[in-house]
Amino acid sequence: MSTLTPTTPAKPTRGIRSTEAKAPRAQRESPFARVSAMIVMGVFTLYFLVPIWWLLVAASKSRSQFNSTNPLWFADFSLFENIGNLMAYRDGVYLKWMLNSALYAGGGALVGTIIAGMCGYALAKYNFPGRELIFNVVLGGVLVPATALALPLFLIFSQISLTNTFWSVFLPSLVSPFGVYLARIYASASVPDELIEAARLDGAGELRTFFTVSVRMMVPALVTVFLFQFVAIWNNFFLPLIMLRDETLFPVTLGLYAWNSQVNQIPVLRDYVLIGALLSIIPLIIIFLLLQRFWRNGLSAGSVK
Amino acid sequence: MQIKKRAAAVALLTAATVVLTGCASGSTTSSGGDAAACEPSEGKVDLTFTTWIPGMEEVVAVWNEENPDVQVKVQTGPNGNGGTYQNFFNQLKAGNAPDLGQIEYDALPNFRVQDGLMNLAACEGVLDAKADFVDWTWGQVNFGEDDAVYAVPQDAGPMAMFYRADLFEANNIAIPTTWEEYAVAAEAVRATGGYITNFSQSDINQFAGFVWQAGGSWFENDGDNWTIDLTSPESVKVADYWQDLIDRDLVSTNPPWTDEWNNAYNTGSNWTWNSAAWGANSIASGAPDTSGNWSVALSPQWAAGDNAAGNWGGSSTAVFTGSKHPYEAAQFALWLNTSDEALTMLNKSANLYPAAKSGLELPALKEGVEFYGGQAIYDVFAEASGHVSPDFIWGPTMTQVYNDTSDGFKGAVTGNGTLSDALTSAQKSTIDALEAQSIPVNK
C-alpha cells in the first residue's frame, strides 16, 4: 500500500492526526487501521498458536511436573526422554500408527486426487448426455458429511467381509466430491479447448492429452485437492473407529483417542497421549509448508476465474 | 427394527428358561453357536476378543501358549462408552461381532435387552464358578436368574475413603466413620480453608456408588417389567445430604478428571476422595506432591456400626450371540478372570481389582503402598468388597441416565435446582427413553 502513495510530505499544520511531518497524506488514516488489523491478527494468531504452545510445553514435562508447574512455560526439559518412552511403549505401536496414517492419508490423497482430477476434467471438457446430472449428484455429495456415511459403509463392508482391514479405511478415503468440483471448475477455466484440440490433431490419445498437457495446467487445483484430502483423511476419526479393531491397523488419531479414553485408570497414558499428539501434527505442518505455495496459487486463481 | 427390539425385550422378560438359541428369534439364521448344549468344538478353534484393557495381549499370550487348540486373538479400541459399545452393537447387527467382549456391569443390561449376550449357563464349569466370585459381582452378570450367566465378572470397584492422614492429624480432626461425622468434619476442614472433598457433578458413577452403599437401587426387573427408582428414598437421602454440603460451600465442585481437580488434591485443598480401588493410582498420578500423606479407610456409614460399601465401576467378559465356539470362549473367560496368573498380570498392567475371591489374596494386593505411607490399602478394599450389596441393578439405558442426571447435577452445583430435582427429571426422561425402545416399564 505504502509504495503506491505519493512521496510529497504533508503539510504539518493540516489535521491533528498527522503528527509526523513525513507522513504521506494518503496514509493519514492507515496507522490506526493498520494497528487494529495487526491486533486482530495477533489475537487470532495467539488463539491458534497457544494450544500448540501448551502442547509443546506439556509434552516436554515429566509427569510429576505436569500438574505442579506453570502450564505455559517449561520445567525440566524432558521432551526427548518422553519421546523415547513413547516409542518404547508396547513395542513402538505408536510408530506403526504414524505409518498407517501416512499410508491412509498419503496413498488415499494421491489416488483420490488423480480420480477427482480425471473426473472433474471429464465433466469440464467432454460433452455427453447426463453431464450436469452427474455433476449435480457429485455436488450433492459435498453436502453429505463423511461421518453420516460411516455406518452404512460399515454394514456394506461387513457384507463383503472387508471390515477390520486396510481397505476398509483406504477405499472410502479415495472419494472426494469437493475435489471433483474444484477440478471441474479449474479445468474449465484454465485448460483451453484449443490446446486439447491441438493435442488431438498431433495424434495424442485422450489419456495422454490429460496426463501430459492438461494435468500440468491443473497442478494448482490438484495440489489443493491433495492437501484437502490429505488433511481430511489424516483427521478422519469416525470411519476407522467403526471399521477397525486390530490395533496394528489404527491410524494415529484413533490410537491416541483409545489411549486417552484410558487415562483415568492408566495415568501413564496421559504422557503418551500428549507427546503423541505433538508428534502427530508434525507431518501436517511439513506438508503444509512444502505445498502452501501451490495452494495459495490455487486458491487465488480459483477465486479470480 | 422396532419389531426386533420388542421381540428382544419380550425374550428377556419371559425369564428365559429356554436359553439363547430360543431367544435369537428376530435375528438371522443361528450360525451354529449352540449355547443350549455348549459342546466343545472339533479341531482347532480361533477366538476373537475385543477389549480396551492395556496389556491384555500379554495375558492372552500366556493362554495361547498353554492352549494350542484354542487360540485367542485380541482386538482393541477405545473404552466402552468411548465407542466400543456402539461398535459392538453395529457388529452384532452386521453379524460379525467378536466371540468375546469387554463389557462394564452398567452396560450389560443394554446388551441383554438387545439380545447380544450368550447365556453361558450350560457351558461346563460356568455355573460352578459362582462360588469363585465375590457374591455381588455374580448378581451383576446373571440379572438375578438362577440358571443364567451372561458374562464372567472380571474386575470390581469397591469404594472406600481416601484421606489426607497428615492434614486430619495436624488439625486434630477425627477421621469420620459416619456421614454425619463427615459433615461435621467438613465444617472443620472448611474452617482451615480447605474442602473435605469434591462433589462429582459429571461422573454420575460416583453418586450411583453412594446410592448403592445406602442400600438403594436405581432399577428393578421383576421378569416382566422394569421399575425405575432414581427417586427411591435412599437415592433422595444421598442427594439431600450432598445438596446440603454444596449449599453450605463445604465441598468443592470441580469437574472430575480435569487439571483443576487434580490440582485441588495436589495442593492439599481437597482432603478426601470417596472412590474405588482403582482410584488409588488416579490420586498417585494426579497429586504426586502429596505422596506418603494419604491413607485409606472404610467409607463413612449412614448408621454407626454398619459396614456397607458402594461400588464404582468394574467390568466383565461376555460372549456375544453368534459366537460359533461358546464352550471354548467360556473356558477362556473363566481362566482369564480366575487364574492367579492372569489376574496378577491384569492388576499390574491395568490396575484391575479382581472380582474373583482368590484374586483378593494376590500377593501383589497384600503389599504396602508407598504413596499411602506404606499402608496395605487393598486390605481395606478387600473388606469393602465383601460388604457391597448384591441388590443394585443397572438399567438398559445407562448412557442416557448418566447424561440426563449429569445435566441436572451441573445445574444444581451452580445453584440452579437441586440434586433431587435432577433425579426427578432424570426419572421421567428414563421412563420415556425405555418406552421409546418399547421396553415395558412400571410407572
Contact B312, B292 (CB under 8 A): no
pLDDT score for B387: 95
pLDDT of A21: 47
B75 touches A at CB < 8 Å: yes
Distances (CA, A) of A284 to A167, A231, A280, B129: 23, 7, 8, 53
Q: What is the pLDDT of residues B170-229, one digit of tens each?
A: 999 999 999 999 999 999 999 999 999 999 988 999 999 999 999 999 999 887 899 999
B280 vs A264 pLDDT, higher one: B280
**Domain at A86-304, CATH homologous superfamily:** MetI-like (1.10.3720.10)
Q: What is the DSSP letter of B39?
A: P
Please tell me the distance in Å from B171's CA to the nearest CA on chain A.
25
Inter-residue contact A282 to A289 (CB < 8 Å): no
| Residue A18 backbone dihedrals phi, psi, to 5 degrees | -85, 80
Record the cell numbers describing residue B42, joined without a space: 472339533
Whether B291 has its CB under 8 Å from any CB of chain A: the answer is no
Residue B102 with chain A: CB contacts under 8 Å: none
Nearest to B105 by CA among B78, B82, B139: B139
Cβ distance B90 to A269 less than 8 Å, yes or no, reads no
pLDDT of residue A302: 52
Instruction: Determine which helix (DSSP H) or strand (DSSP E) holds A275, and give its type and residue range.
Output: helix A268-304
The nearest CA of chain A is from the CA of B249 a distance in Å of: 25
Give me the pLDDT at residue A176, please.
92
The answer to whether the Cβ–Cβ distance between B288 and A67 falls below 8 Å is yes
**Mutate which of A266, A268, A273 to test chain B, going by most B C-beta atoms within 10 A?**
A266
User: pLDDT > 90: what percent of chain A?
Assistant: 62
- Judged by a CB distance cut-off of 8 A, whether residue A163 touches chain B is yes
User: Measured between CA atoms, how close is A198 to chain B, in angstroms?
Assistant: 54
Q: Choose, out of A54, A65, A67, the residue to mutate when testing the contact with B (most B CBs < 10 Å).
A: A67
Give the pLDDT confidence score for residue A74 in this predicted structure: 86
Q: Return d(Cα B165, Cα B327) in angstroms, integer.
A: 49
Non-local (6+) Cβ contacts of B360 within 8 A are B134, B354, B378, B382, B385
| Domain boundary assignment for chain A | 86-304
DSSP state of A214: I
Q: For residue range A44-98, list pLDDT tens digits in order.
A: 999 999 999 999 999 998 877 777 778 888 888 888 999 999 999 888 999 999 9
Which chain A residue shows the shortest CA-CA distance from B267?
A68
pLDDT at B1 over 90: no
Question: Could you tell me whether strands B45-50 and B70-75 are parallel, antiparallel, or unpaired per DSSP bridges?
Answer: parallel
Q: How far is CA B430 from CA A72, A165, B19, B408, B424, in A?
A: 43, 38, 29, 13, 10
Q: Domains of chain B (ranges plus CATH)?
A: 2-156+314-368 (3.40.190.10), 163-311+391-442 (3.40.190.10)
Give residue for cell 472387508: A162
Distance from CA of B429 to the nearest CA of A (A): 27
Q: Looking at chain A, which residue has its C-alpha nearest residue B260?
A: A67
CB B158 within 8 Å of CB B384: yes
Shortest CA gap A226–chain B (Å): 29
β-bridge pairing B294-297 and B152-164: antiparallel
> Which residues of A fall within a CB distance of 8 Å from B58?
none
Among B233, B255, B279, smallest CA distance to B378 is for B279
Output the average pLDDT for chain A.
86
Please check whether residue B109 touches A, CB under 8 A: no
Query: What pLDDT does B286 receive?
Result: 83
Q: Which of A158, A241, A264 sits opposite B282 (nearest CB)?
A: A264
What's the pLDDT at A298? Answer: 59
What pLDDT is attached to residue B12?
A: 40
| Residues of chain A positioned with their CB less than 8 A from the CB of B48 | 245
Report yes or no: A111 and A103 within 8 Å, Cβ to Cβ. Answer: no
ipTM of the complex: 0.80
